[in-house]
Chain A
Amino acid sequence: DAKTTQPPSMDCAEGRAANLPCNHSTISGNEYVYWYRQIHSQGPQYIIHGLKNNETNEMASLIITEDRKSSTLILPHATLRDTAVYYCIVKSGGSNYKLTFGKGTLLTVNP
């Protein structure tokens, strides 16, 4: 699986959009971009994933660049409960089964 690079930490004001970047310059054509988050002492929570197109769900939006070498997770209206470590993971579908987590980005939402 391709390696990802994320900033170690970011701050965001409550109510504002949080934009979390991820670089995955070695991504292959069949590899998905996944985002998970982990709130302190809990299991990782799935947020969203995408292959080529931008995706949106009730939690967030995922913007993938046209060359697929980077992506941005957008939390449109961050709340204090969004404070967590956010992991960007690249994984191919099917037989390549495991998730390889890096250290992620610690997002702190401030009041």
Chain B
Amino acid sequence: DTGVSQDPRHKITKRGQNVTFRCDPISEHNRLYWYRQTLGQGPEFLTYFQNEAQLEKSRLLSDRFSAERPKGSFSTLEIQRTEQGDSAMYLCASSLLGSGGETQYFGPGTRLLVL
């Protein structure tokens, strides 16, 4: 257990529905990241926050995706109008800015299946 938690761990939804995932980072960590992993591939960066500010979004993050980190603590990732191609593992990680090299610690992930 790294101290990063994600909820839910699994989500099955029908195409067109909206889904929201939550990530609780390690408490003192000021950076939070979202990654997506499809079958057989390594995780791919989606977006990251420094405190409450979203500082970068990958081109993978279409307009249907939105992420928030109110108050710089937990974060949510929402997918609107889900598509079958959104089926993947969504991973959250956190790190402490300024800690030499800045190691990211990952949560267990949320596995999404869009039917």
| B42–A102 touching, CB < 8 Å | yes
Residues of A with C-beta under 8 A to B109? 42-43
The size bracket of the interface on A is 20 to 34
Q: How far is the CB of B93 from chain A (nearest CB, A)?
A: 8
Interface with A: B11-19, B66-74, B79-87, B99-107, which one?
Answer: B99-107
Contact with A along B14-44 (1 / 0, CB 8 A): 0000000000000000010101000011111
Distance between Cα atoms of A43 and B106 in the complex (Å): 6
Residues of A with C-beta under 8 A to B104? 46, 99
| B33–A97 touching, CB < 8 Å | yes
Residues of A with C-beta under 8 A to B48? 97-98
A94 contacts chain B at the CB level, 8 A cutoff: yes
| B101–A99 touching, CB < 8 Å | no
| B45–A100 touching, CB < 8 Å | yes
The size bracket of the interface on B is 20 to 34
| A46–B105 touching, CB < 8 Å | yes
| B42–A51 touching, CB < 8 Å | no
Contact with B along A99-111 (1 / 0, CB 8 A): 1111110000000
Q: How far is the CB of B25 from chain A (nearest CB, A)?
A: 13
Q: Which residues of B contact A (CB under 8 A)?
A: 2, 4, 31, 33, 35, 40-45, 48, 55-56, 89, 91, 93, 95, 98, 100-109, 111
Apart from A49-B103, A51-B101, A103-B42, 5 more pairs, CB < 8 Å: A32-B101, A42-B108, A44-B93, A44-B106, A99-B43
Q: Which residues of A contact B (CB under 8 A)?
A: 32, 34, 36, 41-46, 49, 51, 87, 91, 93-94, 97-104
Q: Could you list some 9 contacts between A and B, CB below 8 A? A: A34-B103, A46-B103, A87-B42, A97-B102, A99-B104, A100-B45, A101-B43, A101-B44, A103-B41
